[in-house]
Amino acid sequence: MNRRLGLIAALVLASAILGLSLGAVSIAPGEAWRALWDPAAPYAPIIRELRLPRVLLGFLLGGTLAVSGASLQALLRNPLADPYLLGLSGGAGLGAVLAIALGAPFAWAVPAAAFVGALGAVALVYTLGRTSSGRLEPRILLLAGVVTSGFATAIMTALMVLSNAAELRNAFLWLLGGLGRASWQSLGFFVLWIPIPLAMLFTAARSLDLLALGEETAGYLGAEVERVKRRVVISTALLTAAAVAAAGMIGFVGLVVPHAVRRLFGPLHGRLLPLAFAVGGALLVGADAIARVVVRPIELPVGVVTALIGVPVFAVLLRREIR
């Protein structure tokens, strides 16, 4: 167990070194380290203004997505749940494209519109998934998420076909996910936004253990089931919508990381959530570093890299589970 924890610490450290060193300009780790502390060092502007906020934002984003995914998987009792499942993906895409079709300035309006679209979609899913007695029905939530996303995507596609703004390509690329716009400012927003919803999930760790047994059993073991379900849906929605606003829709981190961590450390959430945060963060920082260098000087959307890493890993895990 301690060796495995050491492995995770090494992973986090390695990803940070990669994230600071790799890019359009390669900087030796030693030089990068000096630049962190010395504003007069040769690469100080690149490291301090571009790469450090990017690495930090990437780490927090990856961690947030992994924790959201892990929590939703317990809530829906479905290991295939990812953070965008409850309508967020369609809602965010529609918001972003709508903002561009209306000619809003890209820099802030698109992330803001994606954020609003994502939360709007979850709100709709939440309303659809509530029974007359006010209970949340996970099965219905899941279906409502799928149809809401499908509907929003249909409108989004129609908008994209009807308008021919060149910026739509940018919107599409942005939605694929990337940390290219990371700055101290976007990091600041994100850092201020996430602590409360993250704390809501971390403090629900034991309730999530119980919820994963099924709602009836969870109640008999002492969980306030409806309260926990509301808390998880709202917290993951707030986190994921903020993640989308900060860097588009980065796939597979929220799906694959909880799986992998569960395999190594077991499914108890008191351990799973913090470790998934660390692994998800490291994975995203590492993937972002790769995205910057594989086809230099073009940056791949980091979502493409996480998918290229995530899908094979996931396929292997899945095959093992089936066997």
Partner 1 sequence: MILEGRGLTVHYPNAAAAALAGVDAWLRAGELVAIAGPNGGGKTTLLRALLGAVTLTSGVAKVAGRPLGSVPRAELARIVAALPQREEPAFALRVAEFVQLGRYAHLGPFTPVGAKDRALVRDTLERCDAWELRDRTIDTLSGGEWQRVRVARALAQAPRALLLDEPTAALDVRHTMELLELVRDLVSGGLGALVVTHELNLAARFADRVILLAGGTVQAVGTPSEVLTESTISRVFDWPVAVTTWNGGTPQVVPLRRDEHTK
Site for partner 1, rule CB under 8 A:
73-74, 77-79, 132-133, 203-207, 209-210, 212-214, 216-217, 219-225, 262, 266-268
Query: Residue 54 or 262: which CB sits closer to partner 1?
Result: 262
Query: Residue 35 or 67: which CB sits closer to partner 1?
Result: 67
CB distance 47 to 36 below 8 Å: yes
Residue 225 Cβ vs partner 1, minimum distance, rounded to whole Å = 8
Query: Residue 9 or 80: which CB sits closer to partner 1?
Result: 80
Query: Residue 39 or 266: which CB sits closer to partner 1?
Result: 266
Residue 258 Cβ vs partner 1, minimum distance, rounded to whole Å = 10
Residue 101 Cβ vs partner 1, minimum distance, rounded to whole Å = 41
Residue 210 Cβ vs partner 1, minimum distance, rounded to whole Å = 6
Distance CA 130, CA 316 (A): 36
In sequence order, which residues have a C-beta less than 8 Å from that of residue 297 and are 6 or more positions away?
A: 24
Query: Residue 53 or 145: which CB sits closer to partner 1?
Result: 145
Residue 222 Cβ vs partner 1, minimum distance, rounded to whole Å = 3
The DSSP line for 103-130 is: T--HHHHHHHHHHHHHHHHHHHHHHHTB
Q: Which amino acid, residue 142? A: L
Q: Which residue is associated with the tokens 């994921």?
A: 240
Query: Residue 38 or 224: which CB sits closer to partner 1?
Result: 224
Query: Residue 229 or 292: which CB sits closer to partner 1?
Result: 229
Query: Residue 18 or 210: which CB sits closer to partner 1?
Result: 210
Distance CA 251, CA 236 (A): 15
Residue 192 Cβ vs partner 1, minimum distance, rounded to whole Å = 24
Residue 252 Cβ vs partner 1, minimum distance, rounded to whole Å = 20
Query: Residue 10 or 221: which CB sits closer to partner 1?
Result: 221
Q: Which residue is associated with the tokens 């571009």?
A: 50
Q: Which residue is associated with the tokens 């596609």?
A: 157
What's the N-to-C CA distance of the chain in angstroms? 25
Distance CA 75, CA 64 (A): 16
Residue 204 Cβ vs partner 1, minimum distance, rounded to whole Å = 8
In sequence order, which residues have a C-beta less than 8 Å from that of residue 95 and are 6 or more positions away?
A: 113, 114, 115, 116, 117, 118, 120
Q: Which residue is associated with the tokens 């895409």?
A: 93
User: Omega of the bond prior to 297 within 30 degrees of 0, cis?
Assistant: yes
The DSSP line for 118-170 is: HHHHHHHHHHHTB-TTS-B-HHHHHHHHHHHHHHHHHHHHHHHHH---THHHH
Residue 77 Cβ vs partner 1, minimum distance, rounded to whole Å = 4
